[in-house]
Amino acid sequence: MSESIQADMVMDLKGLPCPMPVVKVSKGIKEVQVGQILEAQTTDPGSLTDFPAWARTSGNEIVGTQQENGIIRIFIKRTV
């Protein structure tokens, strides 16, 4: 369950159009240590497909997703 995931860093990406949430997270993920979790908060519905695709190519892991009131929260574990 995503509710129990504790993020080590939160990025507010609400209002940014595709592909900016993924572009910013690809830089921001470097600010957390391997094994830590970054939470991306976005309003871009394309993020639901963009982030898993990015995670596969970057080697990081999506550990949870939550949607509420138009806000998509994606939890990404840095693995590399």
Q: Which of 5, 9, 16, 18 is catalytic?
A: 18
- Known catalytic membership, residue 36: no
3-state secondary structure of 79: coil
Which DSSP string do the residues of 52-73 spell out, in sequence order?
Answer: HHHHHHHT-EEEEEEEETTEEE
44 and 74 Cβ atoms separated by less than 8 Å: no
The catalytic residue positions are 18
